[in-house]
Amino acid sequence: MTEAIYHIPVGVWADAVVDWLTANVGRTFDYVRLILGWGYDFLALVLSTPPFWAVAIVLAAIAYFAKGWKLALASLVGFAVIYGVDQWDNAMATLALVLVASLIALVIAIPVGILAARNHAVSTIVRPVLDFMQTMPAFVYLIPAVVLFRVGVVPGLVATVIFAIAPGVRMTELGIRQVDSEVVEAGHAFGATPGRILRQIQLPLAMPTIMAGVNQVIMLALSMVVISGMVGADGLGQDVVQALQRVDIGLGVEAGLSVVILAMFLDRVTAALGDRSPVSRALKIRAEH
């Protein structure tokens, strides 16, 4: 093996940054860990405390509101399967993790996407950062996350947010940029402020694209459940990891099937909610005629 001509000590720099953060900002990370852990524990308690049938009916009602009785019925069947394979509590823990991580990702992603759409310099800076966040293996995020937040659900939440945030930013920026410039100019002509144009013109017209980004954020968050299970997060990911360690095919299939059912439910519901926006309805009516 030939000796390298030169060496860039990126790993040493990364170690130094994490060591500095641990020594100087460790108390802040403790507070963040407590807040995120409390949010997750609260939502997991809300989802897992009531009887199975009560939570299933509420989730099916959401599906009915979003799409109709067919999706509601399919959701009930799927939830019955999850309960039947004894994965209901784990599924609710996973759902809580996905919802908390997706909410945090969207709270960050949508404002950043709006800023990137309105400022070319911000867009130029944000794009390579998003490329880095989305292409870096998620396992790499877990290493500093475990050091800063300790083992448990919080490192999994942090890694999930970092991995899932990119499509939310990209789709928000794309949706706002695709708004017809003549419509925006008409708003300016009538004396509307930039904030009013954003709230009443750009965001409503961009809503179908933004909702597609919301859907992708949730799907990417759900894809991280196994990796979160590796650092001690409760839920289906933990069972998948245990099945892999024990070579337990049955447990792996049961946990994997439950993940698939949750993914289908969340995907169909978020896609249907996006189709319910006034712009999506108008486009659908226009296509039909």
Closest CA to 152 of 93, 105, 92, 220: 93
Phi, psi of 209 (to 5 degrees): -70, -40
Q: What are the tokens at 250?
A: 């049955």
Mean pLDDT across the stretch 22-42? 81
Strands (E) across the chain are located at none
Cβ neighbourhood burial of 148 (10 Å; 0-12, 13-18, 19+): buried
pLDDT of residue 286: 54
pLDDT in tens, 102-131: 899 999 998 999 898 888 888 888 888 888
pLDDT at position 236 is 77
Distance (Å, whole) CA 165 – CA 218: 9
Q: Report the CATH number of the 10-288 domain.
A: 1.10.3720.10
Specify the pLDDT at position 263.
87
Tokens 């794309």 sit on residue: 174
CB 223 within 8 A of CB 134: no
The string of pLDDT tens digits covering residues 228-243 is 777 777 777 777 777 7
Angle between helical axes of 278-288 and 249-275 (0-180°, round to 10): 80
Closest C-alpha to 277, from 204, 199, 213: 204
- pLDDT at residue 11 tops 80: no
Domain ranges of the chain: 10-288
